[in-house]
Amino acid sequence: MKEQKGKYLGKMPGMHQGAPTGHAGIPMKPSESERPKIDLNKLKDKLESFKKNVIKKYKFVLSLSILSPNAAPLFEEDEALPKEVIDSKPIHLVIIIPEEHYKDIPKIKPEVVKFVKETGENLWVNIKTPVDLWNYGLDSKFEFLDAVSGSFPLYDKGFLGALRVANIHKTLCLGKFDKYVTSYVIAGSLVRGTADKDSDVDVFIVIDDTDVKRMGSMELLERLRGMIYDYIREASALAGVKNILNTQVYLLTNFWESVKDAHPVMFTFIRDGIPLYDRGTFIPWKRLLQKGKIKPSPEAIDQYMKQGAVTDEVVKKRLLDVMVDIYYGIVTPTQAMMMLAGEAPPVPKEIVSEVKKVLVEREKVMSHDSLKTLEKAVMLFKNYEYGKLKEFSGTEIDAFMKEMHQYNKALNELRKKLEKKAQNKSAEEIYKEVFKLLATLFGKGSQNELINQFEKNLVAKGKASPRFVKILKEIVNIKKKLKAGKLTQREVDKSKRDAYELITSLVEYAQRKDIIKTQKDSIEISYQGRKAELVLMGEANFLVEGSVIKKFHEGKLVKSDKREFEAAIAKHKEKIGHKIPGEIFMILEKEIGKFELVL
């Protein structure tokens, strides 16, 4: 029986007892096989109006579900139902309500019976509180908890789902290694009856290690713990809930030692926990604790008293640790600002002098008050490091924290100033580098004269891309914005990208021009309205047009590159003279058509 994928499947793995089992792993009685099967999906549809009436009338209801027919005899016997009711084989429903509404059950029952009659179905409603369920566990009637957790949900605020995932996990564990599990106990919000669909489910499992022969106790613990944790995912999938199982696994011997030593966690666990399974270990402990028979030993009392004595030293140490954290909260961002200023991050020993030199005196972006805060932080850490600073009070921590916040606020403003400076410097360097290259190529001249020379000698002759003229003018515009203080980082970044291409092109042209001019082996040619350089070196000969380089090879012009071109030039420098084969001009005319030499 199931609903759609991803929701509760309505079944659980078989129980560990080895007896034939029915729904939710509950041991079957012979007579149970006579009970009619139920189509839960059809029944769910029929009970939709019943569910809505109950929830509308009693908004505090935690869950409403259909018990398996196999579980019905358990509740009929427990509730001592009349024989005529049992013989009619009713379908059993379970309504779980908060404990604080227990006293209202006599008023709730008549209303629920009225809603039952309206359905026309043969139903019997069992109204329970979480405490009723937990009493089943304390009475070792675990099959009742199995039955409720395995019931088919019609409505659930999360309580039933949380119980279901814990019970499925228990069943998986017992099915695999029941002889080692002495107690499986739930606690937390589930026991308090406040669990919802997002609540974690707290579970304690006690492993019996008193009769382990083939392996050590810790080896047993680690082996079983791994499998127990693996079953968590499987249980969550089977239950179809989001609740996370928080599982703690203990060895019986260690657990008992902790109980004798009055460990608070174990005391709380025994006091508040409810067993979903127990082999006569947990429940007696709980009864003894309730009677005041489990008491801490004198050694345990001494141990806990000593904890109070060492608390003072622990707190002092932690306050010193906080002071160190604040120190790093000051020093680390300062190192970042030094990197932004173009310096390597200084080591703590030198940070004050370096910051003073760079941020206070050179960049003039840090105040002397901020420098004093940095000095104080370094001094405190130095005294702590050498053991001179023994304690740091909470009041001093508060004051130091306040200084750190003020310091970092000042650093944020300082950062803006440094970034603005770096931005302006970058824009200035771009402008200078570009126009220095232009002056190298065309001689000294004004800004406009150099741009005109670039257009006339490179762009017009096809030796540079026309779009570089636009980039040049944008660089000039950036310089104007820089002076007006209206420059943005985005504009600087774009200018950097564009200028890189332009500078690369200018450098390559300058190198080719320099090489050609030095060797005096080039001839300018003109063809089809275009211009190029014919570089003749005897063995290696090239045609250069802008950034495109071609080589004369085996009677053809083939593609070449800057590296091959420069290698040929370097080799050619070592020779005193050379001869140019006449076929070069025939190949050239064949490849590009008619051309003219420009002398």
Residue from 77, 193, 201 nearest 131 by CA: 193
The last residue of one of the domains, among 267, 296, 325, is 296
Pairing verdict, β 274-278 and 556-559: unpaired
What's the rounded Cα separation, in Å, for the pair 587 and 593? 9
**Count of structural domains, the chain:** 5
**Is residue 210 assigned to a domain?**
yes
Note whether 534 and 523 are within 8 A (CB): yes
Query: What would the DSSP string read from start to end of 301-323?
Result: HHHHHHHHHHHHHHHHHHHHHHH
What's the rounded Cα separation, in Å, for the pair 148 and 74? 11
What is the reported pLDDT for 368? 93
Three-state DSSP state, 486: coil
Which residues are CB-neighbours of 553 under 8 A, at least 6 positions away? none
Note whether 33 and 39 are within 8 A (CB): no
**Is residue 173 assigned to a domain?**
yes
Shared-domain flag, residues 433 and 536 = no
Residue from 426, 285, 412, 389 nearest 336 by CA: 412
**Is residue 242 assigned to a domain?**
yes
Note whether 355 and 374 are within 8 A (CB): yes
* pLDDT tens sequence for the chain (599 residues): 333 333 444 444 433 333 333 333 334 444 444 666 778 888 899 999 999 999 999 999 999 999 999 899 999 999 899 999 999 999 999 999 999 999 999 999 999 999 999 999 999 999 999 999 999 999 999 999 999 999 999 999 999 999 999 999 999 999 988 888 999 999 989 998 888 888 899 999 998 888 766 667 777 778 888 889 889 999 999 999 888 899 999 988 888 888 777 677 788 888 899 999 999 989 998 888 888 777 766 666 676 677 777 788 888 899 999 999 999 999 999 999 999 888 999 988 899 999 999 999 998 999 999 999 999 999 999 999 998 998 999 999 999 999 999 999 999 999 988 888 877 787 788 888 888 888 888 888 888 888 888 888 888 878 788 888 888 888 888 788 777 777 777 777 787 788 788 888 777 777 666 555 545 567 888 888 888 888 888 788 889 888 889 999 888 899 999 888 888 887 776 554 567 777 888 888 888 888 887 76
**Is residue 565 assigned to a domain?**
yes
Residue from 62, 157, 61, 82 nearest 124 by CA: 82
What is the reported pLDDT for 405? 96
User: What is the residue type of 165?
Assistant: V
Three-state DSSP state, 188: coil
Three-state DSSP state, 464: coil
Q: Which helix (H) or strand (E) holds 91?
A: strand 91-96
Shared-domain flag, residues 535 and 587 = yes
Q: Which helix (H) or strand (E) holds 369?
A: helix 368-385
* CATH value at residue 290: 3.30.460.10
User: Rounded to 5 degrees, what are φ and ψ at 458?
Assistant: -110, -55
**Is residue 571 assigned to a domain?**
yes
The last residue of one of the domains, among 497, 514, 531, is 514
**Is residue 58 assigned to a domain?**
yes
The structure tokens listed for 382 are 């130095």
Q: CA 34: distance to chain centroid?
A: 55
Residue from 235, 69, 232, 64 nearest 159 by CA: 64
What is the reported pLDDT for 3? 35
The structure tokens listed for 525 are 């040619």
Buried b / exposed e along 501-520 (16+ C-beta atoms within 10 A): ebeebbeebeebbebbeeee
What is the reported pLDDT for 35? 67
What is the reported pLDDT for 511? 67
Domain extent, residue 205, equals: 164-296
Shared-domain flag, residues 178 and 234 = yes
CA angle 59, 65, 68 (to 5 degrees): 165
The last residue of one of the domains, among 480, 514, 548, is 514
Shared-domain flag, residues 488 and 553 = no
Residue from 449, 490, 445, 451 nearest 470 by CA: 451
Query: What would the DSSP string read from start to end of 318-360?
Result: HHHHHHHHHHHHHHHHHHHHHHHTTSPPPPTTTHHHHHIIIII
Query: What would the DSSP string read from start to end of 263-280?
Result: -HHHHHHHHH-EEEEESS
Q: CA 442: distance to chain centroid?
A: 58
DSSP strand E in 454-539: where? Answer: 522-527, 530-536
The structure tokens listed for 502 are 């332009």
What's the rounded Cα separation, in Å, for the pair 127 and 97? 7
Shared-domain flag, residues 87 and 137 = yes
Which residues are CB-neighbours of 42 under 8 A, at least 6 positions away? none
Shared-domain flag, residues 128 and 4 = yes
**Neighbouring C-beta atoms of residue 49, cutoff 10 Å:** 12
What is the reported pLDDT for 202? 94
Shared-domain flag, residues 129 and 177 = no
**Is residue 413 assigned to a domain?**
no
Residue from 107, 140, 146 nearest 24 by CA: 146
Shared-domain flag, residues 172 and 274 = yes
What is the reported pLDDT for 303? 65
What's the rounded Cα separation, in Å, for the pair 532 and 530? 7
Shared-domain flag, residues 495 and 581 = no
**Is residue 307 assigned to a domain?**
no
What's the rounded Cα separation, in Å, for the pair 127 and 131? 12
Alpha helices in 35-141 (DSSP H): 40-46, 48-57, 72-78, 83-87, 105-119, 130-138
Shared-domain flag, residues 169 and 150 = no
Query: What would the DSSP string read from start to end of 556-588?
Result: EEEE--HHHHHHHHHHHHT-S-----THHHHHH
Query: Which position has the token pair 């675990």?
Result: 142
What's the rounded Cα separation, in Å, for the pair 433 and 500? 10
Query: What would the DSSP string read from start to end of 210-269?
Result: TT--SS-HHHHHHHHHHHHHHHHHHHHHHHT--PPEEEEEEEHHHHHHHHHTT-HHHHHH
User: Rounded to 5 degrees, what are φ and ψ at 258?
Assistant: -65, -35
Shared-domain flag, residues 45 and 132 = yes
Q: How far is CA 73 from CA 32, 76, 81, 375, in A?
A: 8, 5, 10, 80
What's the rounded Cα separation, in Å, for the pair 14 and 24? 7
What is the reported pLDDT for 521? 65
Shared-domain flag, residues 152 and 69 = yes
In the predicted model, what is the mean pLDDT of the chain?
84
Three-state DSSP state, 361: helix
Note whether 335 and 346 are within 8 A (CB): yes
Length of the chain: 599
